[in-house]
Copies of this chain bind each other. A is one copy, B any other.
Amino acid sequence: MPIPQALEALSSLLGDRFTRSKPDLEAHGQSEAHFTPCPPDGVAYPETTQEVAKIVQICASERCPVVGYGAGTSLEAQAMATQGGIAVDFGRMNKVLEVNAEDMDVRVQPGVTREDLNTELRATGLFFPVDPGANASLGGMAATRASGTTAVRYGTMRDNVLGTQTVLADGRIIRTGTRARKSSAGYDLTGLLVGSEGTLGLMTELTLRLHGQPEAISAAICGFDTIRNAVECVMATIQMGIPMARIEFLDEDCVEAVNAQSTLNMPLQPHLMVEFHGSDSGVAEQAERFGEIAADFGGEGFKWSSRPEERNALWEARHRAYWSVLALRPGADGVVTDMCVPISRLADAVEETRADIAASTLRGPIIGHVGDGNFHALLLVEPGNRAEMDEALNLSGRMAERALAMGGTVTGEHGVGLGKRKYMRAEHGDGWDAMGQIKQALDPHNILNPGKLVPGN
C-alpha cells in the first residue's frame, strides 16, 4: 500500500490545497445518483497544468489512483474513487483563458462551468451551446461526452471540443488538436479523450467551438393524444430537415410533475417543447412548418412565442424537470436511465419503456432529447428500499437491452461510469477489448480512474 508516500508528497507539493478533511473527502465521494458513497483518500486542488502534471507524476511513482473531479454533477458516478486514491478537483482551474471572437473559439480551464462561460461570452455575440441541464464543469462535460437539449442542432461535446491540453498517465503534457476548423493530421486524440472519463488523461485546458447567438429565437409547446403521435411528429420534423434548436419530449407523467413546479399548466398529455434559432423570417418559417407537421399528427394547442420571458419560463421548467419529478415522491431517490436509439425506432422504444414501467410498482416519468433519439426515465425509489431499487435497476437494464436490440446505445449522454460498465461487452463486443488495449498502452500502471470504462482492472 504505497499511498501514504503519495499523500505526503502531495501535501508538501500543494500545502493547504491538498486536504484529507472528512467533509472534503465525503463531498468528493458522493454522486448525484443512487450509488453508494465512496470517498477518496485525499483531495488535490491544483491551479496550473504543471501542478496537475506533478500530481500525476507523484501518483504514478506510488501507483496511487488519480480521479478527476469537476462540478460533481455526473449521473453515473464517473468521478467516484472506487479504488481510493486522489480526487483532483479542478474547482480552482476555472479561468476563461482566451476568447477568439473572430475564430469563434475559446480556450478555458476545465473547471469553468458552462453557465459561467456563457455569462463571460455575453458581450461577444457568441455562446457555447452544449447544455446538459446541470451547471456542469466543461472539463467534466468533455470527459463524459455530455450533450443535452441543443445537441440536435449544435452537436455534443464530441463536436464542440476542438483541442485539449492533457496530462497523460506518466505526467507528460500534450496538446491535442489545433485551432483550425478541421485537420487530417493523424489520429484524433481530442476525440479519443472526449468521453474517456478520465481513464486516459486529465484535460487541463479545452479549446471549444462557439456559435453565434441567433438573431431570433422562438419557442413553442404542443400537446399530443398519444406518445406515438408526439414521437412520430419528431421523426417527421427531423426528416424534413427543419433545423430545430431543441425538441424535447415529456410524457404525461412528466407533464404532471412539471406543472406542479411551474406556471406552464399543460394539459395532462404527452408534449413536445421546441425551440427555433435563426433570422426573424427563418424562425417564423420554421415555426410555421413545424406547426403544420404537428397538426398532421394531431398536435393541439400549438403556439409559438419569441418573447424571452415566455421562452425562459419554458426552458427553466424543462431544466428543473429532474427536481420536479423527484418532488412527485418527496424524499425519493432517482434512478436516471439514458437510452438512445435510431430515430425510426424511437416511438417503439418510448412506448415499450412506458409499458414496462407501467407494469412495475414504480413511478418513472419519461423525458427526452427526442431529436437525437435519446430519452430518460426517472425512476423514483424509496431510499433504502432494496426491492424497489432492484426493480428500478431491472427496468434500467431492460432499457439498455432494448436500446441495443434496436441498434442504439446504452448511454446517449450520461456516460459509462459505474452504472453502464456492465453493458459495455454487449454494446461493443471485441471492440471493448480494443479499448482496453488503448488504455493499457497509455496508462500501463492503471492509475487513471481505475475500475472504470475498460475491461479488467
A343 and B432 CA atoms in complex are apart in Å by 38
Closest Cβ–Cβ distance, residue A191 to chain B (whole Å): 4
| Copies per complex of this chain | 2
Contacting pair B195 A186 (CB below 8 A): yes
Mark A197-215 against chain B: 1 for CB-CB distance below 8 A, else 0: 0001000000000011011
Establish whether residues A185 and B409, one from each chain, have CB atoms under 8 Å apart when the complex forms. Answer: yes
CB of A324 to closest CB in B, whole Å: 24
Q: Which of A65-73, A176-184, A223-231 contacts B (4 or more CB under 8 A)?
A: A176-184
**Contact status A453-B156, CB under 8 Å:** no
Q: Are A416 and B343 in contact (CB under 8 A)?
A: no
A427 contacts B by Cβ under 8 Å: yes
Question: In the bound complex, what is the Cα–Cα distance between A403 and B433 (angstroms)?
Answer: 37
Chain B CB within 10 A, most for which of A104, A146, A211, A423: A104
Q: Say if the beta carbon of A429 comes within 8 Å of chain B.
A: yes
Expressed in whole angstroms, the Cα–Cα distance for A434 and B432 within the complex equals: 20
Given contacts A102-B343, A279-B285, A344-B103, contact A435 B186 (CB under 8 A): yes
Q: Does A235 sit within 8 A of B, measured CB to CB?
A: yes
Residue numbers in B under 8 Å from A411 (CB-CB): 183-185
Chain A contact residues, CB within 8 Å of chain B: 100-105, 144-147, 151, 156, 158-159, 168, 172-176, 178-189, 191-192, 194-196, 200, 211-212, 214-215, 235, 238-241, 279, 281-282, 285, 338, 340-344, 372-374, 403, 407-416, 420, 423-424, 427-435, 437-438, 440-442, 453-454
**24 chain-A/chain-B pairs, Cβ below 8 angstroms:** A102-B239, A102-B343, A145-B183, A147-B182, A147-B184, A172-B430, A175-B431, A179-B342, A179-B407, A180-B341, A180-B403, A181-B340, A181-B373, A182-B412, A183-B409, A184-B411, A184-B412, A185-B409, A185-B423, A185-B428, A186-B427, A187-B438, A189-B431, A438-B438
Excluding A146-B184, A174-B429, A179-B408, 6 further A-B contacts by CB distance (< 8 Å) are A104-B238, A156-B182, A159-B159, A172-B430, A179-B342, A185-B424
